[in-house]
Amino acid sequence: MKVRRIVALVALVVFSAGLGSVFTVQMLTRGGDSVETVVSERSNRDALRHSGVLVADDGEQRAAGGSRAMDGDLLEQYQTGFRRVAEEVIPVVVEVQVVNIVRRQFPSFPSPFEFFFGEPRQPEEREYRRPGLGSGVMVRRQGDEVYVLTNHHVVEGAEEIQITLADDRSFDATLVGSDERRDLAVVSFVTDEEVPLARMGDSDELHVGDWAFAIGNPLGFQSTLTAGVISAIGRNPGPQSGMPTLTEFIQTDAAINRGNSGGPLVNLRGEVIGINTWIASQTGGSIGLGFAIPINVAKRTIEGLITDGRVSYGWLGITTGDVGEAVREALELPSSQGAFVHNVFRGSPAQEAGLLPGDFILEIDGRRVEGSNDLVRKVADLRPEEEYTFALVRDTERMQVAVRTGIRAEEAELARQSQNLWPGLAVTPITDEVREDLSLDRNAGTVIVGSVVTGGPAHTAGIRSGDIIQRVNNHTVGDLREFYRLINDRAQDQVVFRIRRGEQTLVLGLLYDG
């Protein structure tokens, strides 16, 4: 009986304990006639040893009692590398001690005589010194002034700042500048003594799996080094986290605890690749979910704070969102990758450039926009008062618009300008699912208000979330594309909506006003 040729593949995967090196031995058997052994290396080719097995360069497998010694050499190399990181980086990391003055009012307790016959006392105000602790890294020196990079939340509101070096030298420090929107700050102290400075790395070159080391003062334990890897890059904490949304974070499993804030995350070469900022934890302690601001983001902040005492961000003047499948289909967009313009600030760079509600932004100067959060970060990184080209889709047509960016105001100031947003609402198509959930008949309409900006024109006119917009300027709204064509038609100085709200029909108007 003729034996069919069978090709069997057996893969033996060996992990070198504690080293992370991996190799596979593949045995290919063809019809039982011969065996070929193929070795593929994934890392550390010169040290692929495990449990007394040595794989030669020619593919021959043989016993090797001396492999343990080679494993020992590799361990020594790892240890030497880690020591080198510690020796180089620990001296540039400082302890940041702050004192906040807290003022509180307490009731005054009069004597019995005063209680019955005297004037009532006013509450007494007392001051308390509240200490705080964080970390920082020395990044620059100009003359006798040494600049330390740390987190905004470490020094926020501090009345006193003291810097302590790894060799226990201490200096009084002053705040140079702080940037709440990226949670970064620079403080400085003066000395004519020699101090080491950190070497900056390139956070754009990071890859998941790279070695990472966090150095700082967790829980007050000075000059602590922890090791791990880059767990992820480009992490977005989301607007509900309370963390800065203008930054995508580096995630690491190197242990980070309270007191590490402001300290550096470094690579195997001892270069600073991030500033440790926050952890995700249900207990308040490290569970291997630490996050750092990429150093390439911090470099611009350092320059701005030292030079001007502030950081200027680019501003477009729109509110945006991501699009779901229903909106993508309704607007016939090429994909969901981009940022949808819901509202435009009156008098903003966006309005002056001609951007309109309903536009879908795809690129900035050829760089693809992944989503609405990505657009906000990319625009923030643009230099104010310079011109950039935005690629977008408007009513199924792709076009390019030149925009000269402005300077982004403080977030509180932007919130106060909500009355300048046009039109001050976001709408979405009425899908079959929405129609069924709301028990709407087929003639109810095609678009529904999803959200309304408090204080904006739509809110002032009386439009509310859940309203169904049936007509605009006496034209029936056939679909989402037609809705945006109608509200962007500037032939008239106002927009009149006919709205269905429950069993009511309302007519509400908005003035363009600029």
Q: What is the pLDDT of residue 32?
A: 33
Say how far apart CA 470 and CA 483 lie, in whole Å: 9
Band of the pLDDT at 401, cuts 50, 70, 90? very high
pLDDT in tens, 447-462: 999 999 999 999 999 9
CATH topology of domain 88-105+127-309: Thrombin, subunit H (2.40.10)
Are β-strands 53-55 and 160-164 bridged in parallel, bridged antiparallel, or unpaired?
unpaired
Q: What is the pLDDT of residue 345?
A: 96
Least confident range of 29-38, 77-86, 161-170, 229-238: 29-38
pLDDT in tens, 423-432: 999 999 999 8
Q: Is it true that the peptide bond before 423 is cis, omega within 30 degrees of 0?
A: yes
- Residue spans in the chain of domains classed CATH 2.40.10.120: 88-105+127-309
- The tally of CA atoms less than 13 A away on the side-chain side of residue 382 is 26
Q: What is the pLDDT of residue 278?
A: 84
Q: State whether residue 495 is helix, strand or coil.
A: strand
Q: What percentage of residues in the chain have a pLDDT greater than 90?
A: 63
Q: What is the pLDDT of residue 30?
A: 32
Say how far apart CA 375 and CA 381 lie, in whole Å: 10
Q: State whether residue 374 is helix, strand or coil.
A: helix
Band of the pLDDT at 245, cuts 50, 70, 90? confident
pLDDT in tens, 290-317: 999 999 999 999 999 999 888 999 999 9
Distant-in-sequence, close-in-space partners of 299: CB < 8 Å, separation ≥ 6 = 200
- Residue spans in the chain of domains classed CATH 2.30.42.10: 314-417, 423-511
Q: Catalytic site residues?
A: 153, 183, 261
Which pTM was predicted? Answer: 0.75
pLDDT in tens, 322-379: 999 999 999 999 999 999 999 999 999 999 999 999 999 999 999 999 999 999 999 9
Bin 144: left if φ > 0, else alpha if -120 < ψ < 50, else beta.
alpha
Q: What is the pLDDT of residue 60?
A: 45
Quote the CATH superfamily of domain 423-511: PDZ domain (2.30.42.10)
pLDDT in tens, 125-146: 666 778 899 999 999 999 999 9
Question: Domain 314-417: which CATH class?
Answer: mainly beta
Q: What is the pLDDT of residue 25?
A: 30
Q: What is the pLDDT of residue 285?
A: 76
Consecutive H or E run containing 48: none
